[in-house]
Chain A
């Protein structure tokens, strides 16, 4: 009896100490007056199979800060990285925390369209600038556009639209579409369908992100006998899809056209399975401008064994976009309207070459055809083959009420 009682007292004491310590460790209110820093919140996925994308984005963003001397307008830069675990509600929670607790000046990142859409209202309501360096849902380019949101990537439909144009060039008459059932997946398949002149004879949307087994969809595609299959599966799902596509014996039989399925994060695992499978992108690592050469070279130097992907290139650009805004207001981040005006000009050297913003703060840019080749060292790399379309603007900009 006594033993139980003293045990309980110990537990109580431990609990009390923990609670007190915990409470004292709670984030404080306004920070003690210190040297002002530019605070940036970065939301991406750092756990689970798509963590490789998040890491690439982080590495590239860090590289951008290195190239800027880790200062913007003379003020030090502080970045807080948060993991959205690929879940909309977690992403939203982290966004809220960055805005309310850490009081960041900018929020960057967002791989996934559904995470972005869940977090959008928090940023817009708080008038905190949000730079998406990947996700580009159609709603964001249209009715949900906001003066506080900018993109350094693209609108989801644009890349598959370019692929649709390319398929027309290649004389493809019928296509079977496969993609994940979430905001971006639906956008992608709709994008192809909008420019493809032939017939879409089948479409399958799979459960995202759980379903990594595509045998059912591949069987259906095979049974439909299309001229080509178009697929969108980012990250590890792309590796799985290509593996199963090859395993099902489809590789020689039905040509595959992709968007965001083959990139530098997945290529190391896809290897020769990706040979001969074309994709479209607004940035490929061999684009011939100065800043891109520097970005790719320094990335390879800093992270031996890996190359940056388009996710990273977009995040790199985001760093420079933010810098252009901060420099324009000489570090006074309270001048939001001035920062916005600076960012609208897209007055920085992008690794994809210079581009302009549309009324909805989405880039108007070129899209290139990328192909997989083996370089002289035997590595699999992506190469720019042709320009599919120049100065392409997304098709939702009319729905955006901004001028």
Chain B
């Protein structure tokens, strides 16, 4: 039972990480109609910046804050230099152009930081396990991740629903031309939105860094899952992204945890150990296919132009 609760918490934590990525992706797609494959690269860049700045300043929080700012700046720079020219074009153009950016970022990171990757060690005060229930020790850091992402989700909600900027974002998602015609500086809006998405991706990357590692290409695996999330949730909907990421995070984690045991009833140990992670990874895609077949607009479709 304890084990099950632990796995549920792990599932929530993974879901929250996915939300950070998916929120940025869905915002960018919803507002600028841009398919951004390079989102995973921003995730990677955030992690590298964090590892570097924490190493330089020897202060975890300061390093993390600096990394977020740096990723925001990089995101906005990418938007101004490259993304701007892709607006309005075919989605295939977006896919190809941003695919090129993935290659570019991977090599740039390799050039600047070397091929070996980095580590981001946790400060001692975060590296403890807290007793949540009798017998259940859960790492404090993972609880922090969950708390931070919930805070970010609330912040996004307030931003989109209650501020003027959020109103512009929602309006731009519904009718881009009209917003431009009303005299709003659409270019600046887009740059800010892209920067926000980049910062979210960077935050996800740097939070994952102490648990996994910081290495080149780390964004590619999780990017696809993030796309699955936004398709399930409904492209353009942050609420949909939240629900879908929790859903996908839980399915993936519970699947990985319990599927091997299920399979071991039928297969040998090695076969079960090989097949289980593969099959539980498939689950997510099966889920997405089912959603696309039954509800092609996703779970929370954004009422559109």
A and B directly contacting (CB within 8 A): yes
Contact between A51 and B116 (Cβ–Cβ < 8 Å)?
yes
Closest B residue, CB atoms, query A243: B127
B212 contacts A83, C-beta separation under 8 Å: no
Within 8 A of A (CB), among B48-66: none
B213 touches A49 (CB 8 A): yes
B123 within 8 A of A: no
Tell me if B3 and A219 are in contact (CB < 8 A).
yes
Q: CB-defined interface of A66-85 with B at 8 Å, one 1/0 digit per residue? A: 00000000000000000100
Q: Given the complex, which residues of B lie within 8 Å of A211, measured CB to CB?
A: 277
| Cβ < 8 Å to B, chain A residues 194-219 | 203-207, 210-213, 215-216, 219
Partner of A48, one of B117, B129, B211, B270: B117
CB pair A49 B116 closer than 8 Å: yes
Q: Judging by beta carbons under 8 Å apart, are A215 and B139 in contact?
A: yes
Say which residue of A46, A51, A52, A186 sits within 8 Å of B270 (CB atoms): A186
Whether the pair B2, A205 counts as a contact (CB closer than 8 A) is no
**Contact between chains at B3 and A83 (CB < 8 Å):** no
Once the chains are docked, how many angstroms separate the CA of A181 from the CA of B139?
Answer: 25
Cβ–Cβ contact B6 & A47, under 8 A: no
Smallest Cβ-Cβ distance to A190: which chain B residue: B270
Contacting residues, chain B, for A374 (C-beta < 8 A): none
Task: Say whether B137 contacts A249, CB under 8 Å.
Answer: yes
Verify if A376 is at the interface (C-beta below 8 Å from B).
no
Chain A residues 29 to 71 lying within 8 A of chain B, measured CB to CB, are 46-49, 51-52, 55
Residue of A nearest to B14 (CB): A213
The closest CB in chain B to the CB of A51 belongs to: B116
Instruction: Say yes or no for A247: interface residue by CB 8 A criterion.
Output: yes
Q: Which B-chain residue is minimally distant from A269 (CB atoms)?
A: B119
Q: Chain A's nearest CB lies how many Å from the CB of B196?
A: 29
Chain A 350-369: CB-based contact to B (< 8 A → 1; otherwise 0): 00000000000000000000
Partner of B115, one of A48, A207, A216: A48
Expressed in whole angstroms, the minimum distance between the Cβ of A170 and any Cβ of chain B is 26
Binary per-residue interface labels of chain B (93-122) against chain A in the complex, 1 for a CB within 8 Å, 0 otherwise? 000000000000000001000011101000
**Is A294 in contact with chain B by the CB < 8 A criterion?**
no
- Which residues does chain B contribute within 8 Å of A204, judged by CB atoms? 273
Q: Which of B1-52 contact A (CB under 8 A)?
A: 2-3, 6-7, 10
Complex alpha-carbon distance, A52 and B115, angstroms? 11
Separation of A273 and B128 alpha carbons in the complex (Å): 14
A346 an interface residue at 8 Å Cβ cutoff? no
- Interchain CB contact (< 8 A) of A216 among B10, B110, B221: B10
- Tell me whether B10 and A215 are in contact (CB under 8 A): yes
Q: How many contacts between A and B, using CB within 8 angstroms?
A: 71
> Do B269 and A205 touch across chains, with their CB atoms under 8 A apart?
yes
Interface pair B273/A212, CB less than 8 Å apart: no
Of A55, A205, A210, the most chain B CB neighbours within 10 A belong to A205
Query: Does A247 contact B128, Cβ atoms closer than 8 Å?
Result: yes
A46 to B116, CA, bound (A): 7
A334 at the interface (CB under 8 A from B): no
Interface assignment of B216: CB less than 8 Å from any CB of chain A: yes
A212 and B273 alpha carbons, distance in the complex (Å): 16
Whether the pair A210, B221 counts as a contact (CB closer than 8 A) is yes
Pairwise interchain contact B139-A49, C-beta atoms closer than 8 A: no
CB proximity to B under 8 Å, residues A114-136: none
Known contacts A51-B115, A207-B277, A247-B129; A215 and B6 CB within 8 A of each other: yes
Q: Which of A48, A216, A220 contacts B216 (CB 8 A)?
A: A48
B274 interface contact, C-beta 8 A: yes
> Chain B contacts of A247 at CB under 8 A?
127-129, 139
Please, what's the 1-or-0 string for A216-228, where 1 marks a CB less than 8 Å from any CB in chain B?
A: 1001100100000
Report the Cα distance A207→B115, complex, angstroms: 23
Q: In whole angstroms, what is the CA distance A206 to B272 when docked?
A: 11
* B149 located at the interface, meaning its Cβ lies under 8 Å from any Cβ of chain A in the complex: no
- CA separation between A249 and B3, bound complex, in Å? 15
Q: Are B273 and A205 in contact (CB under 8 A)?
A: yes
**Residue B256 is within 8 A (CB to CB) of chain A in the complex:** yes
Q: Does B257 contact A (CB under 8 A)?
A: yes
Chain A's closest residue to B257 (CB) is: A216
Chain B hits for A296, CB < 8 A: none
Interface flag for B237 (CB, 8 Å): no
B71 partner residues in chain A, CB cutoff 8 A: none
Q: Is B215 an interface residue (CB 8 A)?
A: yes
Q: Are A181 and B273 in contact (CB under 8 A)?
A: yes
Give CA–CA (A275, B273) in the complex, Å. 31
Q: Within the assembled complex, what's the spacing in Å between the Cα atoms of A186 and B269? A: 10
Please measure, in the bound complex, the distance between the C-alpha atom of A48 and the C-alpha atom of B106, giving whole angstroms. 12
State whether B269 touches A203 (Cβ < 8 A).
Answer: yes
Q: Which A residues touch B127, using CB under 8 A?
A: 243, 247
**Complex formed: what's the CA distance from A200 to B53 in Å?**
45
Shortest distance in angstroms between B140's beta carbon and chain A's nearest beta carbon?
A: 9
B211 to A, closest residue via Cβ: A213
- Cβ B221 vs Cβ A48 within 8 A: no
Give residues of chain A (175-189) contacting chain B, Cβ–Cβ below 8 Å.
181, 186
Say whether A236 faces chain B, with CB atoms less than 8 Å apart.
Answer: yes
Question: Which residues of chain A have C-beta atoms less than 8 A from B10's C-beta?
Answer: 215-216
How many angstroms from the CA of A316 to the CA of B7 in the assembled complex?
Answer: 45
> For residue A49, which residues in chain B have a CB less than 8 angstroms away from its CB?
116-117, 119, 213, 215
Some 12 contacts from A to B, beta carbons below 8 A apart, are: A46-B115, A48-B115, A48-B213, A55-B116, A211-B277, A212-B213, A213-B212, A215-B139, A216-B6, A220-B3, A247-B127, A247-B129
- Given A83-B115, A213-B211, A223-B2, 4 more pairs with CB closer than 8 A: A181-B270, A219-B6, A236-B119, A247-B128
